[in-house]
Amino acid sequence: MSAELGGIVATFEREVTSHLARLGQDCTSSAIRTTIATNSTLIAQRGDPLVQLLCDELGRPGLAGIKVLDLGCGYGALSVLLATEGAFVLGIDADPERLEVGNRIAAAHGLSVDLRPGRIERPGVTHASFDVVMANNSFCYVVDPEARARALEEAFRALRPGGTILLRDPNRLHPRDQFTHRWLIGVLPPRAASAASVVLGRRRSSVRLRSPRSACRELECAGFVRSRIRSPGGHLRRALAGYNIVTAHRPLA
């Protein structure tokens, strides 16, 4: 990890912790510690493989000059990481306070990051202006099927012809639910999964999970082509992975 990225990680950890504390969150709880780590110490560990994957998809040695739309960017940790690789990043998230954190850190380091309030299904961006659209652990929170279709339609329009979409979300087929750590909760439909979580005494976000194959089909139904499962490992490992990573492209014509 470079000295610059190390400084960014430390700043995110401090700022995210402070923000959650102001909201009255218990920063010693397991769930909140995970949120803090996801936006600080785990930035490079989880982000670097996505950077390499994008380079492979784009056929480039790096991301210099690439325009990225980061949907559901949260605090903007991944947006900032992509910018350290030379990308120009526009991030969209529904929580303006979280965006302030990422914008402050990006500005302090002179990075090309612009984080704006918005929703995944209504990002309000210029059409055909991005090389990459990314949704990292965020598209699953769009539960309504019609809203998901609108979100993918907007992502399709935002991409230049030939551009790449990358989705990373929890895998429905993973045996242990990523939100409650209970067995097989994730295979249930959203309402049933929420109800079962209550019975088990666990809090669970309202999400719609897909298997790797169904995630690819959803992209294809939205008009994308060359969809691929990019989670690491062999066929069985990808099928049961904790997270799906899928890519696809807007057709050239």
Number of domains in the chain: 1
Domain that holds residue 89: 46-171+210-249
27: in domain: no
84: in domain: yes
Per-residue model confidence (pLDDT) at position 1: 63
Locate 250 and state its tokens. Answer: 């807007």
- The candidate with the shortest Cα–Cα distance to 76, out of 96, 56, 57, is 96
Mean of the per-residue pLDDT values of the chain: 94
Per-residue model confidence (pLDDT) at position 30: 84
Q: In CATH, what number is assigned to the domain containing residue 93? A: 3.40.50.150
Locate 121 and state its tokens. Answer: 């299904």
133: in domain: yes
81: in domain: yes
pLDDT band per the 50, 70, 90 thresholds, residue 31:
confident
Reported pTM: 0.95
Q: Quote the CA–CA distance of 121 and 148 in Å, as a whole number.
A: 7
Cα dihedral 26→28→30→36 (10° resolution): 80
109-124 confidence digits (pLDDT tens)? 999 999 999 999 999 9
Q: Quote the CA–CA distance of 142 and 51 in Å, as a whole number.
A: 24
198: in domain: no
What is the length of the chain? Answer: 253
Q: Quote the CA–CA distance of 123 and 143 in Å, as a whole number.
A: 17
234: in domain: yes
165: in domain: yes
Per-residue model confidence (pLDDT) at position 105: 96
24: in domain: no
For the beta carbon of residue 17, count every other beta carbon within 10 angstroms: 18
Q: Quote the CA–CA distance of 205 and 191 in Å, as a whole number.
A: 11
168-208 confidence digits (pLDDT tens)? 999 999 999 999 989 999 999 999 999 999 888 888 889 99
- Residues 174-200 as b or e (16 or more Cβ within 10 Å = b): beebbbbebeebbebebeebbebbeee
128-144 confidence digits (pLDDT tens)? 999 999 999 999 999 99
73-111 confidence digits (pLDDT tens)? 999 999 999 999 999 999 999 999 999 999 999 999 999
Residues sharing a CB contact under 8 Å with residue 154, sequence separation 6 or more, in sequence order: 120, 121, 122, 123, 125
